[in-house]
Amino acid sequence: MWWVWSAGSRSLYFPPLESIVKALWTQWVTGPARAELASSLEHLVAGYAIASALGIGIGMALWSLRYAREATSPYLYFLYVLPAPVLVPAAMTLFGIGFSMKVVLIAFAAVWPTLLNTLDGMRGVDAVKLDTSKVLGLPRWRNALQVVLPAAGPQIVAGLRNSLQVAIILMVVSEWEASTDGIGYYIVSAQQSFDYVGMWSGIIVLAIIGIVANLLFVVAEDRVLHWHYGARAVEGGAR
């Protein structure tokens, strides 16, 4: 539909889809923009990996340390609701505009949804499960790893998914504001040089990244939480 409608478009802002697709091929698949894509994905993967590890790790630590949890929870919440893009200018003044700035920024912004969801999930574990594990005399670490963590799984996954969205946004914002590489940089320089075809191709690449990331996530979630959905289906069927 878009193709037909835009085929004869003379509008400066909405170039024909055909030329966008061409640009997509020449720029992103075979051309120079491949490097931008690679560097963006590097930032994203590094930042997101750090954020996930820290989020789950710190979440578990706080779960087991009650006083630390109660003392810090309002501040964790504050950092969670703080709209993370406002940190970009601050991060620029602290870390310059290099690789480390982006990774630190993505990790810092994306850690909170995972952390708070991990904590929340582990706190919300069914009391019967906890009592059972107590009766079985499971040691503290086995209780944490084998009972509480899996039970919190669905919520942790939800947190990870939120974190991923935040990470993608931060990836683009940080490249946009302060960078010499990456997709965000490509889009902004295309826009500023009135290369609207290039801009649209960048937008489409971003959309594809978002959708592919989402798909990968759904597949992974299905694998990891297979038992959960199975159990829920059985429960639902029994009712």
Partner 1 sequence: MTIRGLALRYGLRLGVLATALGLWQGLSAVGVIRADEFPSMTQTASALWDQARTATLWTAIGQTLEGWAIGLAIGAAAALVVGTLIALNAFAYHSVIGVIEFFKAIPVIAILPIGLVLWGATLTMKFALVAFAVFWPLAIQVCYGVRSVDPVVRDTASVLRLRGPRKFALVIMPSAAPFIATGLRVAVAVALIVDIIAELIGGGSGVGVRILIAENAGPSAYPVMYAYIVVAGVLGVLLAGAFTVAERYVLHWHESQRSAAGDKQIYPERTEVTLAASLSPGRWPGAHPGVAVRRPARRVVGVVGWLEVAVFPAA
Binding residues for partner 1, rule: CB under 8 A, are 13, 67, 70-79, 81-90, 92-94, 116, 119-120, 165, 168-169, 172-173, 176-177, 184, 187-188, 191, 196, 199, 202-203, 206-207, 209-211, 213-214
Q: Work out how close the CB of 74 gets to partner 1 at its nearest, in angstroms, rounded to a whole number.
A: 5
Nearer to partner 1, 12 or 234 (CB): 12
Smallest CA-to-CA distance from 109 within 33, 55, 148 is with: 55
Give the DSSP letter string of 16-50. Answer: -HHHHHHHIIIIIISSTHHHHHHHHHHHHHHHHHH
Nearer to partner 1, 96 or 146 (CB): 96
Assigned token pair, 186? 């490509």
Q: Work out how close the CB of 145 gets to partner 1 at its nearest, in angstroms, rounded to a whole number.
A: 23
19-54 in b/e form (b: 16+ CB < 10 A) is bbeebbeebbeeeebeebbebbebbbebbbebbbeb
> Please, which residues have CB within 8 angstroms of residue 132's CB and are 6 or more apart in sequence?
147
Could you tell me if 160 and 53 are in contact, meaning their C-beta atoms sit under 8 angstroms apart?
no
Nearer to partner 1, 100 or 146 (CB): 100
Strand segments (E) across 75-229? none
Q: Work out how close the CB of 49 gets to partner 1 at its nearest, in angstroms, rounded to a whole number.
A: 19
Q: Work out how close the CB of 71 gets to partner 1 at its nearest, in angstroms, rounded to a whole number.
A: 4
Q: Work out how close the CB of 144 gets to partner 1 at its nearest, in angstroms, rounded to a whole number.
A: 19
Nearer to partner 1, 82 or 231 (CB): 82
Nearer to partner 1, 26 or 73 (CB): 73
